[in-house]
Amino acid sequence: MALPIQGLLRYVWSAVKIYVLGFIALLRQIFQKHEVPELHLHTGKIAVVTGGTCGIGFHVSLRLVAKNVHVVMAGHDIQKGKEAITKIREIYPNAKVDYLHLDLASFTSIQNFVENIKARCSKIHILVNNAAIMLAPYKETEDDFESHFQVNYLGHLYLTQSLLEMLRASGTEEFYTRIINVSSIVHNIGSLDLQNFGKKCTHWLEYSPHAAYANSKLDIVLASWHLSEQLRREASPVTVNAVHPGVVNSSLYKHVHPAIKWLMDLLAKYTYKTPSAGADSILYLALSPSVERETGGYYDNCRKLKTCQLSYSDSVIEQMYILSTDMIQARVN
């Protein structure tokens, strides 16, 4: 009897925390002036955007194209990829834009994507790790991980590590290569248990989609900091920053429980950011000269903010990063 009660309490508490924090973030967003970055042309730059075919990612792709950036949209839905290219070329007929298949729930797919992008592009100047799932029912990936953990965090880490040599080689004194990891304000309520890091649930009552999402966004912030420090020590011309795009009206909320979804749909219609506005802080980190060589930061509304207390514990972050890398290597070797 203890497990059902504990599981229910864990589920409810995680849900309460995420919705309360989300509402606070929404109130702040409503009363705060939205910052729109001033961006210039970046002809010759090449960007990869995961989840670039829909939602925030599509608007990141569209507006990068508008600045003469060659964009490679990465996503798991081939039809959406075709439709996204058509939409972009209707607006910008001469757009340099491509689509490549990428399923972050599969290390094999990530490996294939890396091979394809290296064959197609000689450089990558901007990597936007944007793709995500939220509050999805419990599911395990083909690599044997919980889906939020791999799709939101571990898959992106493997992708970044696989492209790191190329990213290093693309940076210059004038324009450091930029890695932008899309996190969320809910990383503040995420938790990190190194003893059970990355482990699957053995009982359905152990699973909370709210906790899984928040934890994955915390993992992103922590790994971003660790990688930024690693690259800084190497004096590599690459920056790494995390970003909260805001409370945005997108399909990410499709798994929200029906009991509260009607309210969220109503709020979304009148108070949430549009996907285009949600892209602003990402584009700021991708193109703005204001953040040239700025690394290891967490941004919201084009401003650098402090992160949760755990993100200042270097030893814990290092252990997490080593565990993550070991998990990847155990699956791909």
Nearest-angstrom CA–CA distance, 49 and 30 = 28
| Host H or E run for residue 298 | strand 298-300
> If 0-12 CB within 10 Å is exposed, 13-18 middle and 19+ buried, where does residue 139 land?
middle
The amino acid at residue 67 is K
In the annotation, is 153 catalytic?
A: no
Task: Evaluate whether 291 touches 74 at the Cβ level (below 8 Å).
Answer: no
Nearest residue to 57 (alpha-carbon basis) of 212, 245, 312? 245
* φ, ψ of residue 74 in degrees (nearest 5): -115, 130
Burial call 273-296: b when 16+ CB within 10 Å, e when fewer: bebbbbbbbbbbbbbbeebeebbb
**Cα end-to-end distance, the chain, whole Å:** 42
**Catalytic, out of 213, 298, 299, 321:** 213
Nearest residue to 244 (alpha-carbon basis) of 212, 208, 210, 280? 280
The amino acid at residue 106 is S
- Catalytic residue positions, numbered: 213
